[in-house]
Amino acid sequence: MKQRIGFLGLGQMGRPMVRNLLRAGFSVTGFDPQPHAAESLQGEAGFSVATSAVAAAEGVDVLILMLPSSPVIDDLLWKQGLASGMKAGQLILDMSSSDPVCSRDNAARLATLGIHFVDAPVSGGVKRAVDGSLAIMMGGEAVDIDTVRPALQAMGKTLVHVGSAGAGHAVKALNNYVSASGLLAVCEALVAAQKFGIDPHLVNQVFNASTGKNNTTEHKVESFMLSEAFNSGFALGLMRKDLQTAQSFIERMGSPDTFAQVCLSTWTAAEQSLAPGADHTAMYQYVRQQS
């Protein structure tokens, strides 16, 4: 018997992840407060819509969270009655990019109710959510990770158990710090080169054949930045949140965070200056405006 899954957060990432669970034969009950979020999933075999987050958790084996942030999750769990409405033996699988310290605290609090917790944030963006090839970093007890492994395998390709509860979220935030700083460096380099009269397409071509190559030069510059499409499906505000998580994590660990602070302040300024909901690749637009 396949597990019954509840799924909270049917946004850019949640919808394709649900589709891959359904394709793998899981039954999924979804909830999202946005009235149209579940529309494209209606009618898919095995999918049903719940009227609230608490209702989506009723009777399921695993409740997956693909939500914006830890404050949203804490509010749901401890103020909206999600945790108290769940039964001992159920498992919460937090695949959002959450704060590692909050997740570790939540895991301990949920354990006192007999509710299991695994954090399994993802990397790869909407494209890899659609084709089921996400990279997934997992934190939690090995036995709980074994419980959710089949569901994770339906959504991702590379699964790495990185440590205890919260460790997945720590690695995710740190990954996005490295990714966001790489993207910012590329924007600054391209804009300066252009001002010198060099074609930015050629600059990126050289980067991709040289040591400056990174995920941005390979997958974002042509498709989303130089094309002016700015529609990768990952909001700039979410990237800023991840950077904030990473910077405060590094600071709490007592490690040097000079570069993380500068990076965070630039992404924060970009978020304040660009239109609400701007894509993270619009950082290029922001850097160009500043130059």
What residues make contact with ligand NAD under the rule CB under 6 A?
Answer: 8-14, 31-34, 37, 53, 66-68, 72, 76, 96-97, 122-123, 125-126, 233-234, 238
Q: Which is nearer to ligand NAD, 245 or 285 (CB)?
A: 245
**Residue 241 designated active-site:** no
Q: What is the smallest separation between the CB atom of 246 and ligand NAD, expressed in angstroms?
A: 12
Q: Which is nearer to ligand NAD, 97 or 285 (CB)?
A: 97
Q: Which is nearer to ligand NAD, 94 or 144 (CB)?
A: 94
Amino acid in position 48? S
User: CA-CA distance, 127 to 143, in Å (whole number)?
Assistant: 30
Residue nearest to ligand NAD (CB): 11
Query: Which residue among the candidates 79, 172, 213, 220 is catalytic per the annotation?
Result: 172
Q: Which is nearer to ligand NAD, 9 or 139 (CB)?
A: 9
Q: What is the smallest separation between the CB atom of 89 and ligand NAD, expressed in angstroms?
A: 22
User: CA-CA distance, 98 to 242, in Å (whole number)?
Assistant: 8
Q: Which is nearer to ligand NAD, 77 or 186 (CB)?
A: 77
Q: Enter the tokens of residue 42.
A: 């209606």
Q: What is the smallest separation between the CB atom of 242 and ligand NAD, expressed in angstroms?
A: 6
Looking at the annotation, which residues are catalytic? 172
